[in-house]
Chains A and B, each alone.
Chain A
Amino acid sequence: MTRYLISRVLQALVVLLGVSIVVFAMLHILPGGPARAVLGPKATAVAIHTFESEYGLLKPLPVQYFDWLGQVFHGNLGFSYKLNQSVDALLAANLPRTLALVGTAAILAVMIALPLGVYQAVRRNKPDDYALTGASFLFYSMPTFLLGLIMILLFTTVLGWFPANGPTGEVPLWSQLSNMVLPIATLCLVTIALFSRYMRSATLENLVQDYVRTAQSKGVSPRRVLFVHVLRNALLPIVTLIGLSLPGILSGALVTESLFNYPGIGYLFWQAAQSEDFPVEIGVTLVVAVGVVMGSLLADILYAVLDPRVRYS
């Protein structure tokens, strides 16, 4: 177990190193480099040279990389000249709101999708399984913003239950819960579509295993076979799959936030991409990527805790 953990953590560190190199490279593939990104397209050659020598951009790239990495380790992710705020401050304000959105949607999705997937597997190839599979195919193949739009049309225009705009960043989220409903529901539906498909096939795969037949022939009740024997085995790969779906969920959050003007890091990133505010884009990318690496590391550790076969091999 310890050996597995150490090797997995080392692997995550290597990927993090790779992420930092990729993000650093993103800084430098900008047309004109970082100086142009800050000073704008109309800056003179003199101004650019002054800026570059002042910020150490004339040093060799490897030196610059370690300078930049040092800054990142000191928690300095850069400065947004467009918003006149440090990227740290922007992240500190927006990241918790995204965590609230993604966290709530993901937890709800797991709570709904897992029973749904098991139900579909038990009722496989019956009309209700077809209907649910069709629905999840539909949600999965639909652009998230179209799904959000349908939610707005249904719950705001027709039923008038919830407001169409997301919460504002001015007041705390918990005081505007009704504005949170539609963004969370939209992200949740997409995630349910994804997870229930996984859960259905994981359960189906286990239902035909030898141990199920053994349990049945011992006279174990079908309910017990399903909920004790099959479910525990089917849940294992789901842990990893949820970890692996984190990038997809975060991409979904970006679209959801931009549709509902939800003030999280996805919205922040979108605004930055439109106004070519590269320090913000790069800061958010770094944070999101680190989150993804940590998420998949956590999922793998959890998997090892749950599955003794991983622990002892």
Chain B
Amino acid sequence: MIEVFTANRLAVLGFGIIVFFILFCWIGPIFYHTNQVQTALLSANQGPSLSHLLGTDNVGYDTLGRLMEGGQTSLIVGVAAAFLGTTFGVIWGAVAGYLGGLADAIMMRLVDALLAIPGLFLLLFLASVVTPSVPLMIFIIAVVAWLGPARLVRAETLTIRERDYVQAVRMMGGTGLRTITRHIIPNTVGTIVVNATFQVADAILILAYLSYLGLGVPPPASNWGEMLSGGVNYVFAGYWWLIWPAGFCIVATVVAFNFVGDALRDAFEVRLQRR
């Protein structure tokens, strides 16, 4: 399985990019000190120079330093939302598939109904109801993210449930809880891991969309999407350092997670459709 993964050069590249950004965001600030707390309006919108390698933004924050700070938020939100959404979705799907019958029908029709509402509409609605903070943002994205894994795991549970070893557990008096946690969920781990990888990429994009649409996490907290959408206002002023570095970070990270996801799918030999 590991050979299949490493034989895929794109996957190794993707993995490398992810490691690079983790080092960049968390180790970077140790070597590149910047003030990301106080604004410095006198040195706003400056181009790249020796003191600000990637210039400053409209309130004087150092862009390179902010990429590191904002990247932490983007990556944390991406991973945490994918983790939360996947965990809930897996449990939901496994329980629905295991119970079957009316409970399954009701649980899955709820999933269908939520999936019928295009993700961004639901996200914007939720973001307009609450005042977003980073933990709430993770929660909101997870509210939309759990639907995919719930469907996938439920479909797999339906086949696993009929296998002999699951029947044997039942025969020996194993509880439903034990069957689900010890036998069904471990057997869907391939599907789950592959899907969770794509979810991280999606969550980073979603955070960028919400920030762009003005319903992200308010300043002084930052993320790549918020930086990019801030830079969009200066596109005609020619302040390229406010747009392309943040855009590059988002695209590179999302591409990297997609590469890794594709390779994991091949490695686990999971046949599933994205979304």
Residues of A at the B interface (CB closer than 8 Å) are 14-15, 17-19, 21-22, 26, 29-31, 137-138, 140-146, 149, 152-153, 157, 241, 244, 246-248, 250-251, 254-255, 258, 269-270, 272-274, 276, 278, 281-282, 284-285, 288-290, 292-293, 296
Contacts and interface: CB of A to CB of B under 8 A. Distances in A.
Contacts of B125: 26, 273, 281-282, 285
A74 B3 CA distance: 61
Interface stretch (B35-43, B64-72, B229-237): B229-237
A273 B113 contact: no
Give the most central of B232, B251, B254, B273: most A CB within 10 Å. Answer: B251
B116 A289 contact: yes
A292 B275 contact: no
A273 B213 contact: yes
B89 to A, nearest CB: 17
B208 interface: yes
A31 B121 CA distance: 18
B63 interface: no
Contacts of A152: 235
Interface residues of B, number: 41
Given A17-B109, A146-B250, 17 more contacts: A15-B113, A19-B116, A137-B258, A138-B255, A144-B209, A146-B251, A153-B235, A247-B117, A247-B119, A251-B119, A255-B209, A255-B213, A273-B124, A281-B124, A285-B122, A289-B113, A292-B116
Contacts of A289: 113, 116-118
Contacts of A281: 124-125, 128
A140 B228 CA distance: 17
Contact of A145 (B115, B129, B229): B229
Interface of B: 109-110, 112-122, 124-125, 127-129, 201, 205, 208-209, 212-215, 225, 228-229, 232, 235-236, 243, 247, 250-251, 254-255, 258, 273, 275
A162 to B, nearest CB: 16
B75 to A, nearest CB: 15
A191 B193 CA distance: 26
23 contacts: A18-B110, A31-B129, A138-B251, A141-B205, A142-B247, A143-B225, A143-B250, A144-B209, A146-B247, A146-B251, A149-B243, A153-B235, A157-B236, A247-B119, A251-B119, A273-B124, A273-B215, A281-B124, A281-B125, A285-B122, A289-B116, A292-B116, A292-B118
